[in-house]
Amino acid sequence: MLWVGRLFEERYTAVRLTLVVLSGVGYLTLTPEGRSVSTVDLILAIGVLAFAYVGVRWPFASVVWVSLVLGLGSVVGGDNDTVPTIGLAWAVFELGARCGGWRVWTGLGLGLAGHIASDLGEFLDGPQIVAYGAAAAVAAPLLLGMHVRALGELNRQAATRAAQEQTRVRADERTSIARELHDLVAHHVASIVLRVAVARDVLPLDDPRVRRVLDDVHATGSSALADLRKLVTVLRDPGTAQQVLFVDPEGLPVALRAAVERSAGIGLNVQADIDPEVVRLDARTALALLRLTQEGLANVARHAGTAARARLSIRLGGELVAFELRDFGGTVAPGQAGGGHGLVGLRERVEVLGGRLQAGPADAGWLLRASLPASGAAA
């Protein structure tokens, strides 16, 4: 029965008023036997029902009009004020549910005046009875509407507090992760970079291949340390996410070539076909492509061996960016368990951008394919 409660939300005002109008129309067309609706009463009722939808935007104006119609009923000869009376009760309910301040109290006064004026003869004979009836017909619906408005305000405040608490918890989690990344991971990476630099400078390196390896490890570690520091900055202050770029789209071709060259440095034979138009992509898509390339090439080396052959293709076409990395097998059996979460992370990264990722065996090797929206590309 949740829909009943939701019916009293402000966005469903027109639905509520439609139900009231339909009930009024039903009363006019299905009047109980022995009772009749005069022409004057019919005109007044139609005037109330026709004006009902003004209450969707202006509930106070609706109360003013219905009070006026109800009060004039006895003056112009009306003797059946059922529809105007019900219309006034609902109008003051809507007023209490959606307005506050002077409109509520002015609407209450107008409603009481209109109701008493409609029974002016009875009021002169027994004022306490008519006043009680007016209070029941006008004040009670108004109080009910104010109660509904108060409940809605309480619900909104509770939702706001829950959202603030959720934001605080997430901020605490981000801070905790940032602290661990800085104190543990970044510390160890910085230590590795420092030790490699020391080894490169103080050890006798007669074999140039050893120096190249150490240079590559030092460059890779330094790059990882820089990315970790950027990540810590974003975790501690999410508002900087738009300013902190892990990869500049204009430098994406260079970053992709560097990833390919690092893989070639360990023995991989990589044929790369990279569309130069990737510089037109936004930073998030550019970063996704770089991470796909880095993780994909690392998986080729891990599962197919460092002497494997692979083909990388990144092309822009229409509304999509097509990424494909295929290896052709090697000395290590494809699909060998690695125990990591790289593929899961890539899939999440691609799906967050609205893309799709496929990975699986292809002939003797492995195929990693992704399709991402190119909506970030400049027109």
Residues 192-209 have pLDDT tens digits of 888 888 887 777 777 777
Strands 365-373 and 356-362: antiparallel
Q: What integer is the mean pLDDT of 281-288? A: 88
Q: What is the pLDDT of residues 110-121, one digit of tens each?
A: 888 887 777 766
Nearest Cα to Cα of residue 141 among 223, 218, 59:
59
Q: Provide the pLDDT for residue 8.
A: 67
Question: Which range, 60-74, 86-100, 260-274, 311-325, has the best average confidence (pLDDT)?
Answer: 311-325
Q: Looking at the predicted structure, is the pLDDT value of residue 337 above 60?
A: no
Say if CB 59 and CB 94 are below 8 A apart. yes
Residue 292's pLDDT band (boundaries 50, 70, 90)?
Answer: very high
Question: Which range, 158-162, 300-304, 334-338, has the best average confidence (pLDDT)?
Answer: 158-162
Enumerate the CATH 3.30.565.10 domain ranges in the chain, comma separated.
247-332+340-379
Q: What integer is the mean pLDDT of 238-245? A: 65
Query: What whole-number distance in Å separates Cα of residue 317 and Cα of residue 315?
Result: 6
Say if CB 13 and CB 56 are below 8 A apart. yes
Residue 372's pLDDT band (boundaries 50, 70, 90)?
Answer: very high
Q: What percentage of the chain has pLDDT greater than the value 70?
A: 87
Q: What is the pLDDT of residues 14-58, one digit of tens each?
A: 777 777 777 777 777 776 555 667 777 778 788 778 777 777 788
Q: Looking at the predicted structure, is the pLDDT value of residue 333 above 50?
A: no
Q: Provide the pLDDT for residue 1.
A: 47
Q: Provide the pLDDT for residue 324.
A: 94
CA angle centred on 12, ends 8 and 17, rounded to 5°? 85
How many Cα atoms within 13 Å fall on the side-chain side of residue 196?
19
Q: Provide the pLDDT for residue 293.
A: 92
Q: What is the pLDDT of residues 163-197, one digit of tens each?
A: 889 888 888 888 888 887 777 777 777 888 888 88
Say if CB 373 and CB 320 are below 8 A apart. yes
Residue 12's pLDDT band (boundaries 50, 70, 90)?
Answer: confident
Say if CB 300 and CB 327 are below 8 A apart. yes
Q: What percentage of the chain has pLDDT greater than the value 90?
A: 11
Q: Provide the pLDDT for residue 174.
A: 80
Helix 140-180 × helix 82-98 angle, to 10°: 30
The structure tokens 């790289």 sit at: 342
Query: What whole-number distance in Å separates Cα of residue 17 and Cα of residue 86?
Result: 12
Residue 331's pLDDT band (boundaries 50, 70, 90)?
Answer: low
Cα–Cα separations (whole angstroms), residue 140 to 117, 236, 371 = 19, 53, 61
Q: What integer is the mean pLDDT of 106-110? A: 85
Q: Provide the pLDDT for residue 56.
A: 72
Query: What whole-number distance in Å separates Cα of residue 55 and Cα of residue 322?
Result: 54
Say if CB 151 and CB 96 are below 8 A apart. no
What is the CATH code of the structural domain delimited by 247-332+340-379? 3.30.565.10
Q: What integer is the mean pLDDT of 82-90? A: 82
Let me know how long the chain is: 379
Mean pLDDT of the chain: 80
Q: Provide the pLDDT for residue 31.
A: 66
Structure tokens belonging to residue 53: 């939808």
